[in-house]
Amino acid sequence: MRDGEPQIYTSLATLRNGYMQTQWSRVQMFLVFNTIALPLVFGIVQTTQPELVRFVISLVGACMHLVLLNATLRADNWIKYLDDRMTELEQLDREDQNGVRVFVFSHQDFTTMRHSWFASRRLFGIIGLAVAVTWLEESVRHGYILFHH
């Protein structure tokens, strides 16, 4: 790399790390909300919550999960974009004897791990989608009970 390219690479890596940290924060938001709200809605915790409250919690859960899933997908696209740009920067001096000696984003192992079905973003994406469907189902169920009884 020459001129300002090392600084560009460092800036891109910093941006990517910020997006990755945000992804983990979203996962924690999913966990905290679901740990508290799902038992209330499913009736696992015996409460005297009226059906209206359960319906509202279900709607909020469904909306929140759909918004967070959308944000997660968009952030993953940005992470892929940043990975691709850093790969391009790593490839610039590949032929130069004094060029890059360590390849991270352009290394085959990184690509294999990123595209694995066990990559955390895919696993949590599938789990998040299943939970969002559960919230939608609960919204419909509690709405039916609320408006038909």
Tokens 């059906």 -> residue:
51
Residue 3 confidence (pLDDT) = 67
- What total number of domains does the chain contain? 1
Report the sign of the C-alpha dihedral through residues 9, 15, 21, 24, in that order.
negative
Counts for the chain of helices (H) and strands (E), in that order: 4, 0
Q: 20-24, 26-30, 108-112, 142-146 — which one is most confidently predicted on average? A: 142-146
Q: pLDDT, tens digit, for every residue of 50-72? A: 888 888 888 988 888 888 888 88
Among 27-41, 68-82, 100-114, the least confident range: 100-114
Tokens of 69: 């899933």
**If you count them, how many residues does the chain have?**
149
Give the mean pLDDT of 61-84: 86
56: containing domain: 5-147
Q: How many whole angstroms separate alpha carbon 95 and alpha carbon 140? A: 60
User: Which has more confidence, 101 or 19?
Assistant: 19
